[in-house]
Amino acid sequence: MKRISYAIYCALFCFGIMSMSQLWAAEEGASKKSMELKQVKGEEGKVSTANVFNRLLKKDKARNLPPPEDGVHDADNEGTHVLQPPLIAYEGLPKTDFGNYVDWVQALQKGYLNPRYDRVDPTVEPLVMDLDIVREVKASVPDVVFPHKPHTQWLHCSNCHPAIFIPQKNANQINMSAILLGQKCGVCHGKVSFPITTLSCKKCHSKPKPDNWKPPLSSASVKNPWR
Ligand code: HEC
Ligand code: HEC
Ligand code: HEC
C-alpha cells in the first residue's frame, strides 16, 4: 500500500516538474515572441505598411480616408477639415486594384492631370527621357523593365541619380528584400507610388522569359556537375 502511494506521489511530483518546465518554456517562448514583435514594431517607421505582400506588417484597414481620419493630418487643425477628401478628388481617374486605387501613370498620360513641374514657375516643362532598362532576373519570374518615361514625367533625374541608383545599367544591386525594406525601388514604391502587393508584381516584372530560358547555373555547378 505504501509502495503504491509512493509511486503515485512520485508520478504527481514528476508531472509537477514537467508541467512547471513546460510553463517555463511557454513563458520563455512568449517573451521571445514579444521581443520579436517589438523588433518588428521598431521597424514600422522605416518600412511601409502599404507593401501588404510583407505579411509581418500590419495591414491598412482602409485607404483614402478623409484627412481628419487618415492618421496623417492633424484633426485638431481647422485647415485639415478644408482639404478635399481623396475619394472625391480621385473620382473619374483611371483605376488600379492596389495602393490608393488610382493609376497615376494613365491619369497623367491620358491628360486627366496636368501637374506643375516646378512649384513656383508654371512654365517649367519636365525633362522626359524614354529609356527602358531591362533587368534580367535570375529567378523564374518575368524580367523587370524599369521605364524612365513614366518616372521622368513625375520626377527629376536627381530624385534617383546618383543617390538611389548609379546611372549605369546593372551597376546597382537590386533585390526584393531591399525593395520591401524601403530601399532601391522601395524608396518610393509602397510610399508615394504603387506598392508591392501580389497584384502588382507584373507591373515591374513585365517582360516574359524567352521560351528556352533555363535557370542560370553557378560556376561551381558548371565545373562539377553532380551527374
Ligand atoms: C525613378 C528613378 C530614376 C529617375 C527619376 C531617373 N533614372 Fe536613370 N536609371 C534608373 C535606374 C533604376 C537605372 C538602371 C540602373 C541599373 O540597371 O543598375 C537607370 C539608368 C540610367 C542610365 C544608364 C543607362 C545605361 O544604358 O547604362 C542613364 C544614362 C540614366 N539612367 C539617366 C537618367 C536621366 C538623364 C534621368 C532624368 C531625365 C534619369 N536617368 C532619371 C532610375 C532613374
Ligand atoms: C517596384 C517594382 C517591383 C515590384 C512591384 C515587384 N518586383 Fe520583384 N524585383 C524587382 C527588381 C528591380 C528586382 C531585381 C532584379 C535584378 O535582379 O536586377 C526584383 C527581383 C525579384 C526576384 C528575384 C529574387 C530577388 O529578390 O532579387 C523575385 C523572385 C521577385 N522579384 C518576385 C516578385 C514578386 C513575387 C512580386 C510581387 C509580390 C514582385 N517581385 C514585385 C522589382 C519589383
Ligand atoms: C524616386 C521615386 C521612385 C523610385 C526610386 C522608383 N519609382 Fe517607379 N514610379 C515612381 C512614380 C512616382 C511612378 C508613377 C506613379 C505610380 O505609378 O504610382 C512610378 C511608376 C512605376 C511603374 C509604372 C509604369 C506604368 O506604366 O504604370 C513601374 C513599372 C515602376 N515605377 C518600376 C520601378 C522600378 C522597377 C524601380 C526600381 C528599379 C522604380 N520604379 C523606382 C517613383 C519611383
Alpha-helix residue ranges (DSSP H) falling in the chain: 2-43, 78-82, 86-89, 104-109, 148-154, 176-180, 201-204, 219-223
Cα 131 to middle of ligand 2, angstroms: 20
> Is the pLDDT higher at 173 or at 59?
173
179 lines ligand 3 (CB under 6 A): no
Element (H, E) at 135: strand 132-135
Given a cut of 90, whether residue 47 has pLDDT beyond it is: no
**Cell numbers 520579436: residue:** 36
Q: Given a cut of 80, is residue 35 above it in pLDDT? A: no
Ligand 3 in reach of 98 Cβ (< 6 A): no
Ligand 3 atom having least distance to the Cα of 172: 38
Ligand lying nearest the CA atom of residue 55: 2
Mean pLDDT of 27-44: 45
Here the contacts of 135-139 (C-beta below 8 Å, separation 24 or greater) are 135/170, 135/174, 137/205, 138/215, 138/216, 139/215
Q: Whose CA is nearest to atom 39 of ligand 2?
A: 201
DSSP symbol at 193: B
Q: How far is the CA of 144 from the centre of ligand 2 (A)?
A: 7
Provide the pLDDT for residue 56.
Answer: 59
Find the ligand nearest to 169 CA: 1
Among the bound ligands, name the one nearest to the CA of residue 165: 1
Q: What pLDDT does 222 receive?
A: 75
Rounded distance, CA 137 to CA 174, Å? 10
160 ligand 1 Cβ < 6 A: yes
Domain boundaries, the chain: 1-29, 100-204
Task: Give the Å distance between the CA of 44 and the centre of ligand 1.
Answer: 29
Q: Is the CB of 196 under 6 A from ligand 3?
A: no
Q: Whose CA is nearest to atom 11 of ligand 1?
A: 165
Residue 33 has pLDDT above 50, yes or no: no
Query: Residue type at 59?
Result: K
pLDDT value at residue 23 = 41
Cis bond before residue 162 (omega within 30° of 0) = yes
**Which is higher by pLDDT, 211 or 56?**
211
Over residues 57-64, the mean pLDDT reads 68
pLDDT at 153: 94
Nearest ligand to the CA atom of 172: 1
> Torsion-angle region of residue 99: left (phi > 0), alpha (psi -120 to 50) or beta?
left
Closest to 100 (Cα-Cα) out of 109, 87, 83: 87
pLDDT tens, residue by residue, 146-197: 999 999 999 999 999 999 999 999 999 999 999 999 999 999 998 899 999 8
At the top level of CATH, the class of 100-204 is alpha beta
CB-ligand 3 contact for 155 (6 Å cutoff):
yes
- Would you state the pLDDT for residue 1? 47
Reading the block at residue 62, the C-alpha cell is 482602409
User: Is the pLDDT assigned to residue 19 strictly greater than 70?
Assistant: no
Residue 218 has what pLDDT? 80
DSSP of 85-127, one letter per residue? PHHHHTTTS-B-SSTTSB-HHHHHHTTS----SSSS-TTPPP-
